[in-house]
Amino acid sequence: MTVPALLLHLLVFPGLLFLVSWSLALEWVDRKVAARMQSRVGPPPLQPLADFVKLLGKEVIQPGGAGGRVLGLAPLLSFASVATAFLLLPVSGSSPLGFQGDLVVALYLLTVPTVALLLVGWSSSNVFAAVGGVRAVTQMFIYEVPFYLALLGPALLAGSWSVSGIVEWQAGRPWMGILQPVGLLVGLVGLQAKLERTPFDIPEAETEIVAGPLTELTGRRLAVMHLAKDALLAAGCALLAALFLGGPLRPFSAALPGAVEGFLWFAAKTLLLLLVLSTMRAATARIRIDQLDAWGWKVLCSLALAQMALVPFLASWME
């Protein structure tokens, strides 16, 4: 890849500019769908962008005794890690930055925002923020295991630790969502928990701990942290679409589509997964951390392990 093409990939498509635009668009769809399900009108299309710009212009208030450097760098670290992971995903075709093992790297990078929430909460000099940060990490230890097991299932079946390689394996074969539907289900639930959305919004329970670790974030710090969460939503849906729904592949075709058609299929599959997550958010109520602990280890882990146990049989059947 030439230097101009690499810069275009990093900064424009599917890089920084596209990720920011796509993340804000998905946030609007999410809010609009949830609003309509609850008999509300919902925001106009440009509302997420207006909210982001408004927060950028707000004053940054530094709490007394808080770690200013941590509060300033944690949101940037969160967004940078998610943006890096997104560059490894096949948006309109195989990612030119992909490599063998990029699935493991992407999963690691998508965990950084949760760790950043712990740092923000602990550095905020606020009891509510500290409790929210501890809740975020406690919740992470519950959902990460079944989430990782579910997403590693396609890698084992395809015999590749590259996201693009797993997508290419699905060309001309049934998608992983058909071969491993339980893994897709566990992955969706795990992604909802990773995003800390209802019913897993335990770290940011407004009726209990104000806004959790985000309580003392203001101005551009809060704007970037919200943008990082929107980017995590976009990257998470894109990752599930690639691993289980063939990413940019068209159904029942062994040929890789062109860039434009590939992107349209990617967008359609990402929106489909977003609708499932939006429905889950609008139709459920927050659960307690002990309920998540019991349900996550007993149900999600059991389902993920059962799906992993079926991989050798699926591999022999596919040969």
CA dist., res. 187 & res. 84, Å (int): 21
CA R_g for the chain: 19
Q: For the whole model, what pTM was predicted?
A: 0.94
pLDDT digits (tens, 9 = 90+) for 154-200: 999 999 999 999 999 998 888 999 999 999 999 999 999 999 888 98
Token pair listed for 215: 């309580």
CA dist., res. 167 & res. 111, Å (int): 22
Share in percent of the chain as helix, strand, coil (round to 5) = 70, 0, 30
Mean pLDDT within 35-48: 91
If pLDDT is split at 50, 70 and 90, which confidence band does 1 have? low
**% of the chain at pLDDT higher than 90:** 50
Q: Which contacts of 70-74 are long-range, i.e. CB under 8 A and separated by 24 or more positions?
A: 70/119, 70/120, 70/123, 71/120, 71/123, 71/124, 71/216, 71/217, 71/221, 72/221, 74/116, 74/117, 74/119, 74/120, 74/123, 74/225
Q: Which of 83-92, 176-185, 307-316 has the lowest mean pLDDT?
A: 307-316
